[in-house]
Structure 1
Amino acid sequence: MIQIVGIGPGTRAWVPQAVEAMVAQSDVLVGGIRALELFPDFQGESYRVTGNLAETRQTLQKVLQQGKKASVLVSGDPGFYSLLPWLKREFPQEEIQVLPGLSSIQLAFARAGIPWQDAELLSVHGRPLNCLPLHLSRPVGVLTGGENSPRKIAEYYHTYGCNPRISLGNALTYAEERWLNTDADQLMNSEEDFANAVMILYPEEAEHKPEQSVLSLPRSFGIKDEEFIRGDVPMTKTEIRVQVLAKAGIIPASRVLDVGAGTGSISIEAALLAHRGCVYAVEENPEAQELILKNQEKFRVSNLRLIRGSAPLALQEIPPVDVCIIGGSHGQIREILHQAPLVPGGRAVVTAVTLETLAHGMEALKSLQYEDVDVVSIQAVRWKGIKDIHLAQAQNPVFILSGRKGS
């Protein structure tokens, strides 16, 4: 049997009697040096482990082959970004008994004095920062570690123009415990370093929010054309728009760039899909810029940012994005794709209404070594009822090119 024991924050005062009893019944203790020091009176064998999981696996295999009962000591709670998934995968035939512990996330929310049943809980230890939501609709508890320090997280939010309030707890329950209430901008400029700290990111204050954000409302995919505020600026029609967005593969945390945004129909729908991320709408036409802002206000979308100017020049100050959608390009598709801050593996989607633009787009994707390049052409026909008959109203055919940026 393997017993995986959560020892909580790591100080003796926070070790419950149930843990003491389980440890006393064990033949072998396996854990880090600080965890083993919590049980100085243990009479069995002790094996010190480091972060080398292969070494830990070999130690446990040796103990199990001897028919002994092993207790693996982990800080916090075994089931919360800890060893439980790894142990179940590596030892599928063994009986694994779990004793939960108090996690630093629980302690942090207790220190902050706020409930956490509706919070989002994440870890960026060994994970990319783009798993963090840019649009905060509820508190987010974050475990930090490795290269992703609290300062790096603050810099990440500053890069995308966000400045959430932050509570930061370092070395919770230890004598050197530090609790800090700040925001991303202040933390980014702090000279103090916090190792393996826990953070709470807070949503925008209620008084600064729109009366009711459409991001929090259920909405079907594919907004009707007539719902958008229109002018003389061309707009991507619903039938094409939904195909473009489907090719883009937008998920809730996506960061999206929409070049040649026009009235903002694609930008608005992309922002609704990426409700935890953000959308940058690049547009040079002053009339179109005002339409984008009016539609943003109408749909109460707060995670859309208008970038006034023409691409590729206007792309210089935009942070990394996961998706790049190109509508208007003025024959500069290759230059735009080259300058777009698209991350490796990110999706590019280009629309074209002429064969020449199609050819330029295909050449650009191939020359820039995009992978999984695909092209489809779509022509939608709407049937308008006139008295007792319906007549065809054909829309112009549109080519949709897509591909994935190579590494």
Structure 2
Amino acid sequence: MSSQTAPWLTIIGIGEDGFDGLSPAAQSALQSASLIYGGARHLELLNGAAEDISCEMKAWPSPLTKGIEELASHRGQNTVVLATGDPQWFGIGATLHRQFSTEEIEVIPHLSAFSLAASRLGWSLQNVETLSLHGRPLDTLRGFLYPGARIIALTSNGAAPGEIADLLADEGYGASSLTVLEHLGGPQEKVSSCEAEEYNGEAAELNTVAIEAKPIPNTPVLSRTPGLPDSAFRHDGKMTKQEVRAVTLAKLAPIPGQLLWDIGAGSGSIGIEWLRAGKDTKAVAIEPLEKRRVFIRGNAAALGTPQLQLVEGKAPEALDNLPQPDAIFVGGGLTSTGILKTCFDALPSGGRLVANAVTLEGEQVLAEGWKKFGGELCRIAISRADPIGGLTGWRPLMPVTQWSLVKS
């Protein structure tokens, strides 16, 4: 049996109520600490307890990685790190757990901003979308909007509520209820609500925003289920069409936390829908043409997936040094089975590979891949009703040959 390391690092969540609002265990940890790290605001919250704390208090240096290196040099000493609210919920706790073992760390959480906001609004937290826009692209919010959605978001600064209000109006959700909660849990707490399109206030730097989403009439509703309408994307014709895209994503099977390579990304539609479909999914779009990379950037921002990573180049050269994928889609560059072999070799056991072709040459490559690696080969034919003179007929799209497999 291996012996466990005694915790030397205590991560304490602190609120706007400062030292007095901490549990006895958290207060005791601070009083017995030999060193305390925290942000400048966290350390200020301890000012009233100066007589209870005798050790050195240090603000995090910039960049944070330098501070973590300093922290590691104190390994074994009784050290405290202060965090806002719950350190494990969009906080520094996850970062420090990647650097140090669980046995070295004790976490004493405080009430999170999410819990405090939900309690002020009377919302059931399990039915709320919780996200952090602190230091993250505001466009992330676009991917969480649907009629009736309740969203609580952490923000970066006092300008954020106004920027969020503008984004909601831009998306057709200007009628949404926007609540700005400032200094939650402290003596300066303030809660104010209005319709998003009417917001023109100023907020404290420390604020949380809650949204009850309400679209204006005729606002398009974009589901997170794969198969967005083609009109949701800007493109030059090089894109996987709606019905085929839905089938393709079903074969790729987005799973939370997994990574997709979208090769020959075109408009980025496959990578974007992958990111929308699963929590914490990741995607890399590989595209050689700058015109299409412009489309991809714009589509990713507009559809709430600004985290889509964009790589310039052609496969297989552009695949060098990319992290191992869990799934791969090949939508372009099918000139030989060499690219299929490269993709097959890159996948782990259980990885999914899907490739689509509309040309005879591409179809031949897929047939050779099917014979060599196995899997399934199918043809997808879609026809859409279209006016023909004063009548209506079926107008076929180009048939798509699709090869898919799960690596055993």
* TM-score, with length taken from structure 2: 0.53
Count of residues in correspondence between the two structures: 274
1:84 matched to 2:93: yes
Counterpart selection for 1:23 from 1, 11, 30:
30
Give the structure 2 partner of residue 179 of structure 1: 191
**Equivalent position of 1:192 in the other structure:** 202
Find out whether 1:170 has 2:151 as its counterpart.
no
Q: Which residue of 1 aligns with 2:74?
A: 63
CA distance in 2, matches of 1:273, 1:59: 36
Distance 1:159 1:18 in 2: 47
Matches within 5 A, 1:279-290: none
- Matched-pair contact (CA < 8 Å) for 1:143–1:197: yes
Q: Distance in 2 between matches of 1:135 and 1:51?
A: 40
* 2:192 partner letter: L
- 1:45-60 equivalences in 2 (<5 Å): 45-50=55-60, 52=62, 53-60=64-71
**Contact 1:3 1:96 survives alignment (8 Å):** yes
Residue 47 of structure 2: aligned partner = 37
Q: 1:76: Cα distance to partner?
A: 1.0
Shift in Å, 1:82: 0.9
Q: Alpha-carbon deviations, 1:58-105, whole Å to 9, x = none?
A: 4323322xx421111112111111111111122248611111111122
Residues 303-326 of structure 1 deviation map (CA, whole Å, 9 limit, x = unaligned): xxxxxxxxxxxxxxxxxxxx9xxx
2:297 paired with 1:343:
yes
Q: Is the 8 A contact 1:125 1:144 kept in 2?
A: yes
Larger radius of gyration: 1
Q: Aligned pair in 2 of structure 1 residues 51, 139: CA closer, same or farther (>3 Å)?
A: farther
Distance 2:277 2:148 in 1: 9
Instruction: Note if contact 2:86-2:110 (Cα within 8 Å) is conserved in structure 1.
Output: yes
Separation (CA, whole Å) in 2 of partners of 1:220 and 1:124: 24
1:141 shift after superposition? 0.9
- Shift in CA distance, 249/137, structure 1 to aligned 2, threshold 3 Å: farther
Structure 1, unpaired ranges of 5+: 223-235, 253-266, 277-322, 324-333, 348-368, 383-394, 401-407
1:250–1:274 Cα contact (<8 Å) kept? no
Are 1:159 and 2:140 an aligned pair? Answer: no
Percent identical pairs in the alignment equals 23
In structure 2, the CA distance between the partners of 1:5 and 1:251, relative to structure 1 (3 Å rule), is closer
CA distance in 2, matches of 1:50, 1:93: 22
Is 1:138 aligned to residue 149 of structure 2? yes
CA distance, structure 1, for counterparts of residue 113 and residue 123 of structure 2: 14
Say whether residues 1:72 and 2:84 are aligned partners: no
CA distances 1:331-378 after superposition (whole Å, capped 9, x unpaired): xxx9xx68986526859xxxxxxxxxxxxxxxxxxxxx8866546216
Say whether residues 1:98 and 2:98 are aligned partners. Answer: no
User: Aligned partners of 2:99 and 2:274: how far apart in 1?
Assistant: 40
Q: Distance in 2 between matches of 1:344 and 1:370?
A: 19
The corresponding residue for 2:15 is: 8
Residues 84 and 240 of structure 1, relative CA distance in 2, 3 Å threshold: closer
Query: Is 2:179–2:211's contact at 8 Å kept on the other side of the alignment?
Result: yes
Asked whether the 8 Å contact 1:10–1:75 carries over to 2, the reply is: no
CA distance in 2 between partners of 1:56 and 1:237 (Å): 48
Which amino acid is 1:15 matched to?
Answer: L
Q: Helix, strand or coil: the match of 2:49?
A: coil
